[in-house]
Amino acid sequence: RCSYSPHGAYAQSKLALVLFTYRLQHLLTANGSHVTANVVDPGVVNTELYKHVFWVVKVVKWMTAWLFFKTPEEGASTTIYAAVSPEVEGAGGCYLYNEERTKSADVAYDEELQRMLWTESCRMVGISDEANRLL
């Protein structure tokens, strides 16, 4: 029997985004594209993510947000950096955090896991996975 964890699901979704982006960059490069794909991690941003949690958690978040959470504007800075910085232009497959290239979790570099996620995503949305057959 499995129990559902909202934080676990959130973490899995973020890992999937990183895996998917790395695979996308691999395919773009293999096909000679000049388009790039990068992962942007805004950090912990004060958003509505905790909207539906127990009231005690909301109170703790409210009391500590100023210390531990970024404002939405601060959280957007790395996304803006990725879009317009000459330092990132032409660079793909990067993990960007606090306007710097950094390393993601080791599991995110597992190329077989990236491929499996890509293949399953294609299957789920009903599109051909020709890219994996070509590589």
Q: Any bridge partners for residue 96, and if so which?
A: 40, 101
For the sheet containing 95-97, what is the strand order? 39-41, 95-97, 100-102
- The verdict on whether 95 is a catalytic residue reads no
Q: Any bridge partners for residue 39, and if so which?
A: 95
Active-site residue, selected from the candidate residues 4, 10, 22, 50: 10
- Cα-based angle 2, 120, 18 (whole degrees, multiple of 5): 80
Alpha-carbon distance of 27 to 25, in angstroms, equals 5
- Residues annotated catalytic, as ranges: 10
